[in-house]
Amino acid sequence: MCGIAGTARIDGQDLGPEADALLELLADTLHHRGPDDRECLRTGPVGLAFTRLSLVDPEDGSQPLVSDDGNLVLIANGEVYNHRELVAGLPAGTRMKTGSDCEVLLYLYREHGLEFLNDVRGMFGLILFDRARNQLVLARDRFGIKPLYYHRDDRRITLSSEIKGLFADPATPRAFDWESSLEIPYLAASARFGGPGTGTWFSGVESVPAATILRIDLRDGRTDSHRYWEMPTDAEEGVSAEQFVERYRALLEQSVQECATADTELGLFLSGGIDSAAVLALAAPQLPGLHTFTALSGGTQVNGDAEHANWLATSLGVENHQVVFDRDHVPTPEEWARLVWLAETPMTGPEVYYKHELHRFARAERPELRGMLLGAASDEFNGGYSDELSGGAGWESFVESLRYLDRATRLDRHPGLRRWWAEGHDFFSDAALAQSLGDATTDVYQAYVASEYAKVQQYNVWHEDRTAAGSGTEARVPFLDHRLVELTAVIPGHLRPRLLWNKQILREAVRDLLPARIAERPKGPFFYGSGTWHAYRMLIRLLRRDDGELVERALAAPGADQYLDGAAIRRRLTEFGDGETNAPAAEMLMRVVNMGLLAEMAAAPPRLSDLSAGPVRVSLATATATGSGADATPFGAEHDHPAEGVLAFTADVQLLTDTQESWFLLNAGQIEYVLEQDSPVLRVLSLLDGTTTFGDVLDKAGVHADEVRSDLEALLGERLLTFSG
């Protein structure tokens, strides 16, 4: 991952020396994306700024990259996974000057023009200056994994990997776009299919579309758009389910292998579900000493993610760091505002917060780590939401839900008909509606996939990029290899129930790699599901913190008086209780407040480095003690008077609590036991301090020795406790 930015005259003039200050500001703003190196270049009408995070060829991969004839200049953010294969296909005599995986893009462009990305596998945003043609070429990967934004007027265009970089240019409007943002269906979690394109949330800011090349003539600003990839729609008939599974396995293996290639350390987020588990099983043999990171929170304890992740990591012999989120922890208003500014989206919520904190912990724990493997975007294209959308009633019910979404989406386009849409019914036949709306969608599953493709860009890869970038880390997403997505897109209708129900194609593809406990485990939403109330309670407490500071800041932001009802927001916040709540309205309210925060910060853009992210999460222990160093002795075996001795935890053992119901005994950051609330052994363990005698501990706990004898002997035998006479 890197930061790329630039500015160019599009009126036939050259940039002057005054542009150098802007280039330095752009580089400063994107420093967190590339803390290892930076370069600025001004040549003719174009100025480029580059900040580097070194994953491939750390010693010899700096940018800008220049072709051997000097006609092409390139800066790129991302990875070209098949660069060696592409280099081998270049004309004889072509020589690479660096070990950068992106250098091949120069010669592919020289050889193939606007078709130069057709065979490229990877994730990238790029800015290429074609001196000979006096053109600027901008492009992004097929899924928009790597961002690239711009603002332009009739004289100049400014570009940046992050929107906040554009605000370094005085020509860029500094305003949140309330009107356009409110039209993005994903923001309101609307039961509709999303339209094509990605909103940027800010006035005057545009995004280079995914799978698209923009070519700008620097003499007059004329711009051509070339789409180099589309989601396939023609089904592959005559292919068996077994053949699809076999092909999926082979492609996934190759994708993980490519994503797990780097010259620096990589880590992996392990949730305990099939997606990250599959990536782990395929990546672990290639990455000896791999470290995985799991959130231990109220939600992940209740839904089983933390337990399954730790169990799987132990089974596969890899390190698993269980990052503890205490049940009562709430970020400060400044920490939340910083996160929203980093993420640049009002859709910042619990998932974004927890992932950001995991990245911070990982980078602090493993300073040489530069990349993180993720199981993201498997659900969207493998049928991961089918069971949820069907209400557990099967494939036909899932398809019926998609028809409902399609009908609602089509009715939304006709104001008159929308008035009849009440409680999910409008009483009109498809034939009647076709006169106003056109024929009903022929294949609602394809329409659903197209909507998920747009959602991935607007939410998934957007926040995965920013949460990783905030810690100088690159997020890698093996499930967004376009060949995998193409394969699932062409599964014929009669095989979809067999392969795309609850990710069966993935489960069957990796069945031999994973224990059945993981391979068949039902999907559990990240930080949601049965433990949702933990995340929502955090949001409610955050909104109330410091006399509602975030709410008041949002209501005072530019434009808020026109679009927000302050009395309604304050009243709704008051209505929430402080205990369990599964009301999604808590997250919707947070999104409204986030819009105001973005409007405030856009008007007076802060430096990210000036905002506090708070302490890095290592663990939050409510009871922690270390042993005195005495040898462990089985309780009661060699002591006539054990009450006079001292029972203590051994080094690296911690007793932690995350919810009101559950406590955890951790050894070196890994869960060894989950203890029941108010159990006799928990009452004893919670009083151990390394000095109080065992007899006194029993008295304080109100526990008889026989009640805990077998449990304590087991813990002593496993050397989680010591006993000194």
Q: What pLDDT, on a 0 to 100 scale, did the predictor assign at position 704?
A: 83
Instruction: Please count the residues of the chain.
Output: 725
pLDDT at res. 581: 62
Whether the per-residue pLDDT at 631 is higher than 50: the answer is no
pLDDT value, residue 409: 85
Banded pLDDT at 620 (limits 50, 70, 90)? very low
Between 632 and 34, whose confidence is greater?
Answer: 34
Give per-residue pLDDT as tens, 568-599: 999 999 988 765 566 788 999 999 999 999 99
Lowest pLDDT segment from 43-52, 303-312, 389-398, 546-555: 303-312
Q: Rounded distance, CA 672 to CA 654, Å?
A: 10
Give me the pLDDT at residue 36, please.
85
- Give residue 710's pLDDT band: very low, low, confident or very high (50, 70, 90): low
3-state DSSP assignment of residue 345: coil
Catalytic residue list: 2
Q: How confident is the model at residue 411 (pLDDT cuts 50, 70, 90)?
A: confident
Rounded to the nearest 5°, which phi and psi values hold at 351? -60, -45
Mean pLDDT over all residues of the chain?
88
For position 541, what pLDDT does the model report?
Answer: 92
Residue type, 10: I
In the 8-state DSSP scheme, what is residue 74? E
pLDDT of 649 > 50? The answer is yes
Compute the average pLDDT of residues 259-266: 93
Q: What is the pLDDT of residues 152-187, one digit of tens each?
A: 999 999 999 999 999 999 999 999 999 999 999 899
Look at residue 703 in the predicted model and tell me its pLDDT. 87
Between these two residues, 722 and 473, which has the higher pLDDT value?
473
CB 315 within 8 A of CB 303: no
Q: Each residue of 441-463: b (16+ CB within 10 Å) or e?
A: beebbbbbbbbbbbbbbbbbbbb
Strands annotated E in 223-348? 223-227, 265-269, 291-296, 319-324
Residue 528 or residue 427, greater confidence: 427
- What element of type H or E holds 56? none
Greater model confidence, 126 or 721: 126
Closest CA to 276 of 534, 2, 503, 529: 503
> Which among 254, 299, 252, 258 has a CA at the least distance from the CA of 274?
252
* Distance separating alpha carbons of residues 241 and 549, to the nearest angstrom: 55
Q: What average pLDDT does range 400-423 have in this prediction?
A: 82
Question: For 438-484, how does the pLDDT look when each residue is reduced to its tens digit (9 = 90+)?
Answer: 777 789 999 999 999 999 999 999 999 999 999 999 999 999 999 99
Q: 132-159 burial, b for 16+ CB within 10 Å, e for fewer?
A: eeebbbbbbbbbbbbbbbbbbeeebbbb
Please report where in the chains the tokens 């579900």 appear, as a residue: 273
Separation between Cα atoms, residue 313 and residue 307, nearest integer Å: 10
pLDDT at position 280, please?
97
> How many alpha carbons fall within 13 Å on the CB side of residue 22?
25
Structural domains in the chain plus CATH codes: 2-227 (3.60.20.10), 241-382+455-524 (3.40.50.620), 386-447 (no CATH), 531-610 (no CATH), 623-724 (3.90.930.60)
User: pLDDT value at position 205?
Assistant: 98
Sign of the dihedral defined by the CA atoms of residues 474, 478, 479, 483, in that order = positive
Please list, in sequence order, all residues whose beta carbon lies within 8 angstroms of the beta carbon of residue 79, skipping any fewer than 6 positions away: 55, 56, 101, 122, 123, 124, 474, 476
